[in-house]
Amino acid sequence: MSSEHPFEQYPLWTALVTPFDQQGKVDFVSLGKIAHQQNSAGNAILLLGSTGEGLALIQEEQRTIVEYVCGLSLNVPIMVAVGGFQLIEQLQWIEQCNQLPVDAYLLGSPLYAKPGEEGQKLWFEALLDRAKFPCMLYNVPSRSGLSLSTSALASLQHHPKCWALKEASGDVAQFKEYQKACPDIALYSGEDALLPKLVEEGAKGLVSVAANVWPIQTRAYVQQCLTGETTGLFPVWKNAVDSLFAVSNPIPAKILMAKNNDIANATLRPPLTNKELSNHQSLEHADQQITHWHQQYSSRQISQQNVLKTA
């Protein structure tokens, strides 16, 4: 692919949660509400990722969610996650989504099997060949059980549908290795708190959990990181992100979103449950801190604009 990557104007993708009602069914009213929030903030949307509990949904639910969000006529791109361990099912899922007005795919590593370099290449090549839209590959060893081979990624980077990599190993050295070996794809951080450091190493943006809770604030955080203005980001953002990962994602995010009335309730699909987090003080404190940080950020932006007007 060329050095001009698609979606360059969207450095922030929100890995959207999937709201459920108290009976565990998809809450489309809340889903529409939070999708419109992301649209208003100018954030691109990722559906059915791990934050969206995609693998806890049956395929009919997955398709209905994608169709519903596509039907909202949003102004931001929509990416759909492709993840699992049965290649035939993933290819069938891509074929279904190829018929829908989506914009991109997130291709996860195969789960459980832990293939080597050649197996990884076979897996991703099959998915890339079937995809109609640009694809972001996903390295998340904590969930998939394997780390994406650098040499495999290097050979895949020239595929016409290979656009980007979401790097969520939490290992800066691994990110640097990918960056050096794979200059023809865009690298995105899959770790909210690491973005300032990874931008220094060439990250183009962020696939975010925090943006579910703080859509506008996280967009400002990403913009500040990309401009190299990291003053004031620590420890506020690190502490805030830590609170969202105190237990398995997206439990804390859903709890805080329910508290803020962004979604109707914090229901999750088993084996995840909001009973894992009984003390919400750190979440509430993080929410207050991010709100205060954004107020200061907005004030600085206004002051800078006024200075430019009078210059």
166 burial class (0-12, 13-18, 19+ CB within 10 angstroms)? buried
Query: How far does CA 223 lie from the centroid of its chain?
Result: 16
Taking CA atoms, 232 is separated from 124, 199, 205, in Å, by 40, 16, 19
Among residues 10, 138, 178, 221, the one annotated as catalytic is 138
Catalytic-residue membership of 132:
no
- The residue from 10, 105, 161, 166 that is catalytic is 166
242, 193 in Cβ contact below 8 A?
yes
> Does residue 178 have an active-site annotation?
no
Q: Which residues are catalytic?
A: 138, 166
